[in-house]
Amino acid sequence: MLISTAMLAFGLLILVVGGEATVQGSLHIARRLNWSPAFAGVAIVGFGTSAPELFLSTQAAWAGSNGLAIGNILGSNIANVWLIGGMIVMFSHIKKQQEAKQPSRLHSIAAGLALLSLALFALRGDIPSVLGGMLLLPFAIYAYAAIKEANAQKKKKEKLPDGFPSLRHGLLLAIGGLALMLAGAEQVVAGGQALARLLGMPETLIGLSVLALGTSLPEVVATIVAVRHKAVALATGGIFGSTIFNSWLILPISTIILPLSVKESLPDLLIAPIAFALFISGMMSGRRYRFSIGLACVCCYILYWVFLANRV
């Protein structure tokens, strides 16, 4: 018990250090390449912080562990939009909007469609390899459209102040920060899994709760650091990117390795689009209502954990 707790504490410390480096590196890269912070959030933070889900879900699929593979992906999506999304909505009420605009509708629509496409599998009760693999097609279309949009939105390159970090410096910061966050998340997940098994939790619930929250910690930390740097758009882009990568890249790869049954995860398939709708309503609402809707998102995530506890 003491060893597991120590692993959790050490992992959280590494996460915080890595989150600071990742956000600063991403902002440096965005300025150097003339990207918007929102696109940097999708491309760097979203994809980079999804690495734990990619590693754990594909590893679980190779090992034939259906519950961990599907539970990690679905639980992570719900944590993205209710916990992390709720935090962003609340912070966007408190903090003045930064100079960068929020991510375009392309990313929010794609994230919503990604969650809806997974919800449709609730009608079947399983995700065969062929149907799961077909989700790589909308991911390819989205990636092409996102890159095309980012290039079209580039403005005249601004003159950077003397001494501004180089592109190489930004890349090293971002990559090093992501590596630290992944290492920290692995420590947290290992400690959490050990505690969960001591408490007798079944495999699917460990995937939906401990693994999902643990692998979402990089997004949580990146969000808090981004808000501190007044880069809310970077954090919002990270949510959309992570949700899309989870649903249209990691899940298809996992299903190609192992056809997944979703019979034990039907409620979670249906909850995810509802959670996303609440998050989006908060982002589109006026500042007067944002704090209340953001708080509602976080409270819903807490209630979701109560719901998971009752499924043990």
* Domain layout of the chain by residue ranges: 38-149+201-310
Amino acid at 230: K
Helix 212-228 to helix 2-33 angle (10° resolution) is 50
Contact 223, 80 (CB under 8 A): no
Q: For the domain 38-149+201-310, what is the CATH superfamily, name and number?
A: NCX, central ion-binding region (1.20.1420.30)
Contact 243, 113 (CB under 8 A): no
State the DSSP string of 211-243: IHHHHHHHHHHHHHHHHHTT-HHHHHHHHHHHH
Global confidence as pTM: 0.80
Rounded to 5 degrees, what are φ and ψ at 260? -105, 135
Contact 250, 47 (CB under 8 A): no
Q: Is 99 exposed, middle or buried (0-12, 13-18, 19+ CB in 10 A)?
A: exposed
C-alpha 312 chain-centroid distance: 25
Digitized pLDDT (tens) for each residue of the chain, 312 residues in all: 566 566 666 766 776 677 678 777 887 887 788 887 778 888 877 877 777 677 777 877 887 877 778 887 888 899 889 988 998 888 775 555 444 456 778 999 999 999 999 999 988 888 999 999 999 999 999 999 988 888 887 665 666 776 778 888 888 888 888 787 777 766 766 666 666 666 666 655 665 666 666 666 777 777 777 777 777 888 888 889 889 999 999 999 999 998 988 888 888 899 999 999 999 998 888 777 888 999 999 999 989 888 877 765
